[in-house]
Structure 1
Amino acid sequence: MQVTTKAIVLSSLKYGDTSLIVKAFTQTDGLKSYLLKGVLASKKGKLKAAYFLPLTQLELTATHKNKGTLETIREVKVLNPYKSLHTDIVKNSLVLFLAEMLGNSIQEEQQDASLYNYLEYSMQWLDSNETIANFHLLFLLNLTKFLGFYPEESEGINSYFDLQEGQFVASPTLNPLIENENAASFKRLLGINFDALKGIKIAKGIRESLLKSVILYFELHLHGFRKPKSLAVLNAVFD
C-alpha cells in the first residue's frame, strides 16, 4: 500500500557499502523501518542520506506492506527544516541522545497521532529556543504520558519518589528512589510545559543524577529497554 505521511527519523544505520536502514516514527503507522538501497552511492537520486539525520521531520511517500519487513521509500521532502539542531553542538548532542531514547522506547507499529504531534512540537521548540539545559528531563518526563507511566503527582508533603511504583511516598521504600534535593527538582518539572523551563534552575550535579533516575524509570517500566550509549557524550557536553 502506498502512503504519504509525516515521519520523524529515529535512527539511520549503514547497511552494506551503499545502503541505509532508517527507523522512523510515522504519523499514520507508528514505528516503521525502511531500506534505502544505494542511497550512499547516488548523487542524483531523489533520496539523499542528509535527509535522514536524527529527529529530522519529513514527508514520505512510501510503500507499506505491513508484514514486519523493511519498507521502501519512493519520495521524501524535509518538513520544518531546523536552523540549529544539527549545527549547535549542545543541541545536536541532545538530539542524538533523545533519538536513541525514543528508538529504545517506541515499539508499536500503530498510529499514535498525539505522540507524533508531541515529538513534532518538541523538536521545533528546541530548535527555536536557547534555555535548554533541562529540556531533555522535561521531554522524557512528558514522553512517559504517551508510554503509559507518567509519574503520579503528589499534592502532599511526600518527599520520596518511588521509581518502581511511579508515585511519591511519605517514607523510604526498598525500591529505587528519588529523594532530597533531587525529589524537589523532580517535582518542579511535573505538570509544566517547555516555556516554563526558563524559570527553573537545576544544579549540574542534580541534573545528571536526575537524568540517571529518569533513565532507570524507563528501564523499570519498559520491557526490553536499553540504556542509551550516547549518555556519556551528553554529560560531557554539559560539563
Structure 2
Amino acid sequence: MLHKTKGIVLRTIKYGETSVICSVFTELLGLQSYMIKGVRTTKSRTSKANLLFSSSMLDMVVYLQPQKNLQLVKEFQAAYLYRTMQEHVAKNGVAVFAMEILMQLIADHDPAPELFAFTEGFLKQLDARPVQDIANFPLFFLIQAGRLAGYHLSGNYTPDTPYADLHEGRYTASLSILPPFIEGAEADTISRLNAAPDLDTIVGIRLSNTERRQALDHFITFLQLHVAHFRELKSLPVLTAILY
C-alpha cells in the first residue's frame, strides 16, 4: 500500500554500490527503515542522495508492507531546504545530537505526531536563529522530546521540594539516597530549564558552560534511568567539544 507522508531522516547507511538504508521518523507511520535504491549512481551535486543526510526533511511516497522490517520508497523530495544548518558546525552538531535522541525515544512503527511536529519546528528554529542563541538548544530538545515521549521530571524547585531525584523522576522534600545528588542552585537551574515552555524562554536562561554541561548530563541520566535500552550517545562528545 502506498502512503504520502512527511519524514525526517535520522540516520543513513550506504548499502551496496548505489543504494542506502535510511532510518526515517515519519509523520504518518512513525519510525521506519527504508531501502532507497539507485540514489548513489552519480557524483553530481544534484544527486538525490544529497537530500538523505541526518535531520533532512522530506516529502515522501512510500510503500508499507507491515510484515516487513525494511520498506521501500517510491519517490521523495526535499520538504524544507536549510539555509544555514550545514554551514555551521555548531548547528549541525545540535541537529545530529537531536536525531540520535529521537532514535532512542521512538518506538518502531508507532506514530507520534506531536513529537514529529515539535521536531520539525525545532529544526527550522535551529536553522533560522543566530548561532550565538543555540547553546541551550540541546537542553530544550532533550527535555521536550523526552516529555512528548512520556518521560518527564515532575514538580519544581521550592522550599518544600528542594531536591531533584532523578530516580524518582520528581522534586522531593528529601535528598535522594542514590547519586546524582542535586540540590541548591543546581536543583533550581534544573527546575527552570525543565519548566521553560519555549525556545525564547530557555535561550534567556544564562548559564556557564560548566552549568550547561552538568544540566545536560543530568537530563541524559534521567532518560537513561527511565528509557529501556537507552544507549551511550555517540554525538555527545562532539556536541560538548563544539558548544561547551
Instruction: Please classify the TM superposition score into its range, dividing by the shorter chain length.
Output: over 0.9
User: In the aligned structure 2, how far is the partner of 1:165 from the partner of 1:68?
Assistant: 38
Counterpart of 1:148, as a letter, is G
SS at match of 1:79: strand
Q: Look up the match of 2:61.
A: 61
Counterpart of 2:193, as a letter, is L
Structure 2 residue 194 is the aligned partner of structure 1 residue 190: yes
Q: Look up the match of 2:155.
A: 153
CA contact 2:6–2:26 (8 Å) conserved in 1: yes
Q: How many residues align?
A: 238
Q: Look up the match of 2:22.
A: 22
Cα distance, 1:42 vs. partner? 4.2
User: In the aligned structure 1, how far is the partner of 2:202 from the partner of 2:151?
Assistant: 22
Q: Look up the match of 2:111.
A: 111
SS at match of 2:85: coil
CA contact 1:30–1:111 (8 Å) conserved in 2: yes
SS at match of 2:164: strand
User: In the aligned structure 2, how far is the partner of 1:47 from the partner of 1:71?
Assistant: 21
Q: Please, which of 228, 231, 242 is the counterpart of residue 226 of structure 1? A: 231
Cα distance, 1:155 vs. partner? 6.2
User: In the aligned structure 1, how far is the partner of 2:194 from the partner of 2:104?
Assistant: 23
Q: Please, which of 160, 166, 169 is the counterpart of residue 166 of structure 1? A: 169
Q: Look up the match of 1:180.
A: 184
Counterpart of 1:225, as a letter, is F
CA contact 1:12–1:54 (8 Å) conserved in 2: yes
Moved more, 191-200 or 121-130: 191-200
SS at match of 1:71: strand
Cα distance, 1:182 vs. partner? 2.5
SS at match of 1:97: helix
CA contact 2:157–2:171 (8 Å) conserved in 1: no
Counterpart of 1:163, as a letter, is L
Structure 2 residue 204 is the aligned partner of structure 1 residue 199: yes
SS at match of 1:38: coil
Structure 2 residue 94 is the aligned partner of structure 1 residue 94: yes
User: In the aligned structure 2, how far is the partner of 1:229 from the partner of 1:199?
Assistant: 28
CA contact 2:54–2:99 (8 Å) conserved in 1: yes
Cα distance, 1:48 vs. partner? 1.5
Q: Look up the match of 1:48.
A: 48
Q: Percent identity?
A: 32
Moved more, 178-187 or 208-217: 178-187
Cα distance, 1:17 vs. partner? 3.4
User: In the aligned structure 2, how far is the partner of 1:66 from the partner of 1:91?
Assistant: 36
Counterpart of 1:151, as a letter, is L
Structure 2 residue 138 is the aligned partner of structure 1 residue 136: yes
CA contact 1:85–1:127 (8 Å) conserved in 2: yes
Moved more, 3-12 or 158-167: 158-167
Cα distance, 1:104 vs. partner? 1.9
Which aligned pairs between 1:4-23 and structure 2 lie closer than 5 A?
A: 4-23=4-23
Cα distance, 1:8 vs. partner? 0.8
- The structure-2 alpha-carbon separation of the partners of 1:139 and 1:19, relative to structure 1 and needing over 3 Å to count, comes to same
TM-score, normalised relative to structure 2: 0.91
Moved more, 214-223 or 154-163: 154-163
Cα distance, 1:231 vs. partner? 0.7
CA contact 1:141–1:190 (8 Å) conserved in 2: yes
Cα distance, 1:223 vs. partner? 0.7
TM-score, normalised relative to structure 1: 0.93
User: In the aligned structure 1, how far is the partner of 2:212 from the partner of 2:93?
Assistant: 16
Q: Where does structure 1 lack aligned partners over 5 or more consecutive residues?
A: none
